[in-house]
Amino acid sequence: MSNATRKDLHALVDALPASEEQAARRYLEYLRDASDPYASLDKVEPFQDLADDQRAKLHASLRQAEAEIADGNSVLAEELVRELWAAK
């Protein structure tokens, strides 16, 4: 990449409104990692954009799921797939 192109990109980034910075970052990371779709999996926390109340609901749902599994109220993935195929 030429220095002029790099300077143009920096100028574009500097001119972005704050509300678009996260989207720009994600897109640039996507472009960087496009050759390796697994490259960014360990770099991004999947729930980083959740609000506190959303995060609390997620954790409550996970605790409920763990309790249901512990109580035997769960279905194996293989069984679920068989049921879904049978329902077709």
pLDDT in tens, 9-37: 899 989 999 998 889 888 888 787 777 66
What percent of the chain is modeled with pLDDT above 70? 84
- The answer to whether 22 touches 13, Cβ cutoff 8 Å, is no
pTM: 0.39
Parent domain of 31: 1-44
Inter-residue contact 16 to 24 (CB < 8 Å): yes
Do residue 57 and residue 82 come from a single domain?
yes
Sign for the CA dihedral angle at 13, 19, 20, 22 comes to positive
Q: Are residues 28 and 5 in the same domain?
A: yes
4 and 40 share one domain: yes
Residue, of 48 and 23, whose pLDDT is higher:
23
**Total of domains in the chain:** 2
- The structure tokens listed for 8 are 């143009």
Looking at the structure, do residues 36 and 21 belong to the same domain, yes or no?
yes
| 54 and 37 both lie in a single domain | no
